[in-house]
Amino acid sequence: MNWTYRQPVAIRFGNGALTSLYDEITALGGRRGLLVTSPSFVKRGLAERVRDMSHGLIGHVYGAVSPNPDVTECDECTEMLRRHGCDFVVAMGGGSVMDCAKAAAAFCTADAPAAAYLGDGKPIPDAHLPLIAIPTTAGTGSEITSVAVLSDHARGIKAPLSADSMYPAVAIVDPELTYTVPPYVTACTGFDVLCHAIEAYWSRRHQPVCDALAVQAAGLVFEYLAAACENPSDHTAREKMAEASVTAGLAFAQPKTTSAHACSYPLTNMLGIPHGEACALTIDRLVRLNSSRGDIRTARLAGRLGFTDAGALADAIADLRERVGLRSDLRDLAITDTQFEALVEGSKHPNLLNNPVEVTDDDLRMMYAAMR
Euclidean distance between CA atoms 348 and 259, whole angstroms: 9
> Looking at 104-214, which runs of residues are DSSP E strands?
131-135, 147-152, 157-162, 170-173
Report the run of H or E that residue 316 belongs to, with start and end: helix 310-323
Indicate whether 291 belongs to the interface with ligand NAD (CB under 6 A). Answer: no
- Using CB under 6 A, which of the segments 81-89, 181-189, 313-321, 344-352 binds ligand NAD? 181-189
- CB-wise, 104 or 149, nearer to ligand NAD? 149
Euclidean distance between CA atoms 35 and 38, whole angstroms: 10
Indicate whether 192 belongs to the interface with ligand NAD (CB under 6 A). Answer: yes
Query: Taking the complex as a whole, how short is the minimal distance between the CB of residue 45 and ligand NAD, in angstroms?
Result: 13
- CB-wise, 73 or 99, nearer to ligand NAD? 99
Query: Taking the complex as a whole, how short is the minimal distance between the CB of residue 136 and ligand NAD, in angstroms?
Result: 4
Query: Taking the complex as a whole, how short is the minimal distance between the CB of residue 26 and ligand NAD, in angstroms?
Result: 26
Count of other CB atoms within 10 angstroms of residue 54: 20
- CB-wise, 185 or 229, nearer to ligand NAD? 185
Query: Taking the complex as a whole, how short is the minimal distance between the CB of residue 341 and ligand NAD, in angstroms?
Result: 23
Number of residues that bind ligand NAD (CB under 6 A): 29
Indicate whether 38 belongs to the interface with ligand NAD (CB under 6 A). Answer: yes
The partner residues of 93 in beta bridges, in order of sequence, read 135
Query: Taking the complex as a whole, how short is the minimal distance between the CB of residue 289 and ligand NAD, in angstroms?
Result: 22
Indicate whether 148 belongs to the interface with ligand NAD (CB under 6 A). Answer: yes
**Positions 112 through 141 that interact with ligand NAD (CB under 6 A):** 136-137, 139-141
Query: Nearest CA to 353 among 268, 279, 262?
Result: 262
Listing DSSP states for 223-235 in one string gives HHHHHHHH-TT-H
Indicate whether 8 belongs to the interface with ligand NAD (CB under 6 A). Answer: no
Query: Taking the complex as a whole, how short is the minimal distance between the CB of residue 334 and ligand NAD, in angstroms?
Result: 25
**Positions 245 through 284 that interact with ligand NAD (CB under 6 A):** 275-276
Among 7, 15, 40, 109, the residue binding ligand NAD under the rule CB under 6 A is 40
256: alpha, beta or left, given left = phi > 0 and alpha = psi -120 to 50?
left
- Using CB under 6 A, which of the segments 180-188, 216-224, 297-305, 317-325 binds ligand NAD? 180-188
Query: Taking the complex as a whole, how short is the minimal distance between the CB of residue 100 and ligand NAD, in angstroms?
Result: 9
- CB-wise, 24 or 143, nearer to ligand NAD? 143
Indicate whether 175 belongs to the interface with ligand NAD (CB under 6 A). Answer: no
Query: Taking the complex as a whole, how short is the minimal distance between the CB of residue 192 and ligand NAD, in angstroms?
Result: 6
Query: Taking the complex as a whole, how short is the minimal distance between the CB of residue 257 and ligand NAD, in angstroms?
Result: 8
Cα 40 vs. chain centroid, distance in angstroms?
A: 19
- Using CB under 6 A, which of the segments 79-87, 120-128, 174-182, 300-308 binds ligand NAD? 174-182
**Positions 67 through 96 that interact with ligand NAD (CB under 6 A):** 67-68, 93-96
Please answer whether residues 242 and 40 qualify as being in contact, where contact means their C-beta atoms are separated by less than 8 angstroms.
Answer: no
Count of other CB atoms within 10 angstroms of residue 36: 32
Please answer whether residues 169 and 10 qualify as being in contact, where contact means their C-beta atoms are separated by less than 8 angstroms.
Answer: yes
> Looking at 195-352, which runs of residues are DSSP E strands?
none
Beta strand 10-13 pairing with 170-173: parallel
> Nearest-CB residue to ligand NAD?
94
Indicate whether 171 belongs to the interface with ligand NAD (CB under 6 A). Answer: no
Query: Nearest CA to 134 among 173, 102, 190, 89?
Result: 173
Query: Nearest CA to 133 among 91, 175, 164?
Result: 91
> Looking at the chain, which runs of residues are DSSP E strands?
10-13, 33-36, 58-62, 88-93, 131-135, 147-152, 157-162, 170-173
Residues that bind ligand NAD (CB under 6 A): 38, 40, 67-68, 93-97, 99, 136-137, 139-142, 145, 147-149, 177-178, 180-181, 185, 189, 192, 275-276
